[in-house]
């Protein structure tokens, strides 16, 4: 294949998560790693209750509020335990003895529904398993229970590459959304949701922190008998500082959100940038005479995660290994579904997508 890159050079990284971070963010973190300006120590070496850390967590929250236009009647929490802990905390805090509706559109909602079942009653009101998780339901297919504690969706199924374009109207039932792999990829109206959450390691920062944006009336639902660290209300009252928060990860969230606002120019521009990148890649897939096959149905396919296959598993493997030699790394599909997957989050530069497209076109010529 083309030239080998030196060992220590950054490659175009299509990992689904933990995923590529913006280079200017990594550079800033590197520059400040030994010593935060004016503090005399690293962000990893100071008290979370110090004057040094206070503006970091407050700045991160302010940036999240500004980017997503989060109204005042929502709390922004920085938690640990990843998205998976939210799969449990959501029913623990919100069920209140009732049942919740789950819309299962892929691996992550399937996992969320089974975790919730450990805690209480769930109704899977739509399951995309029979359509191989290639699409989300249409609004006419969804019948929410009026007395449900909440309704649960995932805005972007990271493994299957299926993304909601607009969200179902659940009336007075609060809508809960796992946005782990598409938060900040475009503007979103937060008021559609009662709770909107995302682990950081796809589109927000490093692993170790999870963003939870929760409406005040849902914060009030936390039952008395829950350990403090699983209790939204107690966490909200202490501004995510019930105990030591993941300080470094929160610092990185502050840098990434700053980058989204200052360098990228806000979420409208980020959306245009992401749509264009995704279109480049899907065009190559669509114009390959079936050589490359995408997973999701066209109307529902994701602008963040693009799973695809070649005509055989041997070719999938050959593609992946030659792509790696060409500086295009982490392209293997999720272990549960195989094939290939290109994750093209906010931090993936356009040049990375162009390089992948060119590689794909070249690969068909040689192996088609």
Ligand X SMILES: *Cc1c(COP(=O)(O)O)cnc(C)c1O
199 near ligand X (CB under 6 A): yes
Residues with Cβ within 8 Å of residue 347, at least 6 apart in sequence: 19, 20, 21, 22, 23, 25, 203, 256
The residues that are catalytic are 108, 178, 202
Q: Which residue's CB is nearer to ligand X, number 134 or number 284?
A: 134
Collapse the DSSP code of 46 into the 3-class scheme (helix H, G, I; strand E, B; otherwise coil) and give the result.
coil
Return the structure tokens found at 65: 């509020």
Q: Which residue's CB is nearer to ligand X, number 107 or number 192?
A: 107
Return phi, psi of residue 187, to 5°: -65, 150
124 near ligand X (CB under 6 A): no
59 near ligand X (CB under 6 A): no
* Under 8 Å between Cβ of 161 and 307: yes
Q: Report how far apart, in Å, the C-alpha atoms of 164 and of each of 132, 134, 137, 223 are.
A: 16, 12, 9, 31
* Under 8 Å between Cβ of 94 and 195: yes
The residue from 83, 285, 353, 357 that contacts ligand X (CB under 6 A) is: 83
128 near ligand X (CB under 6 A): no
Q: Among the candidate windows 96-104, 173-181, 268-276, 358-366, which touches ligand X by CB under 6 A?
A: 173-181
Q: What is the 3-state secondary structure (H, E, C) of 236-268?
A: HHCCCCCCCCCHHHHHHHHHHHHHHHHHCCCHH
What is the number of other CB atoms lying within 10 angstroms of the CB of residue 274? 22
Tokens 């206070």 correspond to 54
Q: Which residue's CB is nearer to ligand X, number 205 or number 327?
A: 205
**Which DSSP helix (H) or strand (E) runs through 14?**
none
The residue from 122, 163, 170, 180 that contacts ligand X (CB under 6 A) is: 180
Q: Lay out the site mask for ligand X across 201-240 (x = CB under 6 A, - = otherwise).
A: -x--------------------------------------
Q: Among the candidate windows 50-58, 77-85, 247-255, 272-280, which touches ligand X by CB under 6 A?
A: 77-85
The count of residues interacting with ligand X (CB under 6 A) is: 12
Shortest Cβ distance from residue 229 to ligand X (Å)? Answer: 16
The residue from 79, 154, 247, 340 that contacts ligand X (CB under 6 A) is: 154
Q: Which residue's CB is nearer to ligand X, number 164 or number 319?
A: 164
> Can you give the binding site for ligand X, defined by CB under 6 A?
17, 82-84, 108, 154, 158, 178, 180-181, 199, 202
């Amino acid at each position: 294949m083309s030239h080998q890159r030196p060992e220590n050079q950054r490659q175009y990284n299509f990992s689904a998560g933990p995923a590529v971070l913006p280079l200017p963010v990594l550079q800033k973190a590197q520059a400040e790693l030994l010593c935060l300006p004016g503090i005399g120590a690293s962000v990893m070496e100071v008290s979370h209750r110090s004057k040094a850390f206070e503006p970091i967590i407050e700045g991160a929250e302010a940036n999240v509020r500004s980017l997503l236009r989060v109204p005042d009647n929502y709390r922004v929490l920085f938690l640990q335990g990843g998205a998976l802990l939210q799969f449990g905390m959501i029913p623990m805090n919100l069920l209140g003895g009732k049942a919740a509706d789950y819309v299962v559109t892929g691996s992550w909602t399937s996992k969320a529904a089974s975790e919730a079942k450990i805690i209480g009653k769930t109704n899977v009101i739509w399951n995309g398993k029979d359509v191989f998780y290639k699409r989300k339901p249409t609004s006419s297919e969804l019948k929410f229970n009026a007395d449900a504690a909440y309704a649960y969706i995932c805005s972007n199924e990271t493994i299957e590459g299926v993304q909601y374009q607009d969200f179902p109207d659940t009336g007075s039932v609060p809508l809960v959304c796992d946005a782990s792999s598409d938060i900040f990829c475009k503007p979103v109206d937060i008021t559609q949701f009662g709770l909107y959450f995302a682990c950081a390691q796809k589109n927000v920062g490093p692993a170790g922190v999870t963003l939870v944006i929760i409406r005040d009336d849902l914060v009030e639902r936390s039952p008395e008998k829950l350990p403090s660290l699983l209790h939204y209300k107690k966490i909200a009252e202490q501004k995510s500082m019930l105990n030591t928060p993941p300080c470094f990860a929160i610092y990185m969230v502050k840098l990434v959100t700053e980058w989204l606002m200052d360098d990228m120019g806000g979420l409208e521009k980020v959306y245009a940038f992401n749509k264009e990148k995704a279109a480049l890649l899907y065009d190559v897939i669509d114009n390959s005479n079936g050589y490359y096959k995408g997973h999701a149905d066209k109307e529902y396919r994701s602008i963040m995660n693009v799973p695809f296959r070649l005509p055989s598993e041997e070719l999938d493997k050959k593609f992946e290994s030659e792509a790696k030699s060409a500086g295009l790394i982490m392209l293997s599909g999720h272990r549960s579904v195989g094939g290939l997957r290109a994750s093209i989050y906010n931090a993936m530069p356009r040049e990375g997508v162009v390089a992948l497209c060119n590689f794909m076109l070249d690969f068909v010529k040689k192996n088609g």
